[in-house]
């Protein structure tokens, strides 16, 4: 049993500087952090100034909680707390749509990280998405944005967004269109990491050289018939990691990435690339070190010439009959499908 009173030290934890108490509380759900306020004045102050609000998964939503949210945010605005992170997940049955008002308060508090999630539902052959408060597009202090379950529609008036400090954008189970991607490419000049998972609406994904800091892109497509994506065209001179996955053989038939000269790691799953495409890829992308190719039906003969390639993994490409490698620095080569298996390194 834990010794509960150390006569010489007494209440040590409350003597820690408030920023440290904040860091500890930042790992708690807002509910548990708020409970601490009844302990003593130090803890009441620590909760009221806590710049991390994680409202996690809310099943127990009620009208009163609307008031709680208003009060919690209003108090932080009043005391000019610089908000670090705000997370809120609402289940479909929460019967409450995201309030524009809260987003505006968070923006006034210079919010750095925002995670909003609403559960999507499949109803009569369609996904039902939540509606996104458009105030979000004016969050110019935001560094990290995660959205799940939303229909991403630009503001009606001029359709521009101001997310100029955004470094990471994570979108999952969203409906979005080319207009949004274009606006993102124009505004998010500091974007480093883009993740689009299980998205719908886009028929083409195009990034046109306006995101110089972009280092990582992760695209995961929905299954057909929901996935509409046919074209991927990326120009990003500092892109190091690119991953494109379909969960099943999809419709992507055009992939243009040869302008991404800094690319080091490439992962393709269920993307039908041809023998020629592959040969040209390695001719253009001299910095590729790691290449994973999973479930590609179209590939018959794999010819790779690369000085820098270190790891190559080719899995379940069932029409592959020959592999020709001129790769002096290859240390790991795994290739297996129905017909044969090769494991080197």
Partner 1 sequence: MITLQSSDKDVFEIEQSILIQSGTIKNMVEDDFTFIPLPSVDTETLIKIIEYMKKHADKTDSKEKNIKEFDKDFMKKTLNELFALVFAANYLHISSLLELLYPSIADRIKDKITEAIRQIFSIRCDFTPEEERRIIMDNKWAHEGTEIEGTLD
Question: Which residues sit at the interface with partner 1, rule CB under 8 A?
Answer: 1-6, 9-14, 16-17, 20, 23-32, 34-41, 43-44, 60, 64-65, 68, 71
CB within 8 Å of 186: residues ≥ 6 apart: 160, 210
Residue 26 has φ and ψ, to the nearest 5°, of: -65, -15
If you write DSSP's letter for every residue of 164-178 in order, what string do you get?
Answer: TT--EEEEES-B--H
Q: Please, what is the minimum distance in Å from the beta carbon of residue 311 to partner 1? A: 14
Q: Which residue lies nearer to partner 1 by CB, 47 or 129?
A: 47
In the complex, the smallest distance separating the C-beta of residue 322 from partner 1, rounded to whole angstroms, is: 34
Name the residue nearer to partner 1 (CB basis): 23 or 261.
23
Nearest distance in Å: CB 309, partner 1: 19
Choose between 8 and 343: whose C-beta lies nearer to partner 1: 8
Give 44's Cβ-side CA count (13 Å radius).
4
> By the 8 A CB rule, do 157 and 135 touch?
no
CB of 335 to partner 1, least distance (A): 25
How many angstroms separate the CA atoms of 239 and 155, rounded? 29
User: In the chain, what's the furthest Cα-to-Cα distance?
Assistant: 76
Quote the least distance from Cβ 76 to partner 1, whole Å: 14
Q: Which is nearer to partner 1, 22 or 199 (CB)?
A: 22
Q: Which is nearer to partner 1, 5 or 122 (CB)?
A: 5
Q: Which of 205, 306, 294, 292 is closest to 249 using CA atoms?
A: 294
């Amino acid at each position: 049993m834990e010794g509960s009173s150390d006569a010489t030290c007494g209440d040590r934890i409350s003597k820690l500087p408030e920023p440290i108490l904040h860091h500890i509380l930042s790992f708690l759900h807002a509910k548990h952090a708020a409970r601490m306020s009844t302990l003593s004045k130090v803890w009441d102050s620590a909760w009221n100034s806590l710049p991390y609000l994680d409202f996690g998964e809310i099943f127990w939503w009620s009208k009163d909680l609307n008031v709680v949210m208003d009060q919690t945010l209003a108090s932080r605005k009043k005391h000019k707390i610089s908000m670090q992170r705000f997370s809120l997940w609402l289940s479909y049955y929460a019967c409450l749509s995201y309030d524009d008002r809260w987003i505006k308060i968070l923006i006034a508090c210079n919010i750095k990280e925002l995670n909003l999630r609403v559960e999507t539902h499949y109803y009569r052959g369609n996904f039902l998405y939540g509606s996104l408060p458009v105030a979000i597009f004016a969050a110019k202090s935001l560094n990290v944005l995660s959205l799940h379950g939303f229909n991403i529609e630009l503001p009606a008036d001029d359709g521009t967004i101001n997310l100029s400090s955004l470094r990471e954008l994570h979108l999952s189970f969203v409906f979005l269109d080319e207009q949004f991607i274009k606006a993102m490419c124009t505004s998010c000049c500091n974007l480093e990491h883009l993740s689009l998972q299980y998205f719908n609406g886009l028929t083409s994904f195009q990034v046109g050289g306006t995101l110089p800091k972009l280092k990582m892109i992760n695209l995961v497509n929905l299954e057909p018939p929901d996935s509409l994506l046919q074209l991927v065209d990326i120009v990003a001179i500092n892109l190091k990691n690119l991953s494109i996955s379909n969960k099943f053989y999809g419709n992507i038939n055009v992939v243009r990435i040869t302008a991404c000269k800094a690319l080091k790691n490439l992962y393709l799953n269920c993307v039908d690339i041809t023998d020629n495409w592959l040969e040209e890829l390695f001719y253009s992308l001299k910095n590729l070190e790691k290449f994973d190719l999973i479930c590609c039906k179209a590939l018959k003969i794999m010819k790779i010439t690369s000085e820098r390639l270190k790891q190559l993994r080719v899995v379940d490409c069932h029409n592959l009959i020959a592999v020709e490698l001129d790769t002096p620095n290859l240390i790991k080569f795994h290739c297996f499908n129905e017909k044969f298996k090769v494991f080197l390194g």
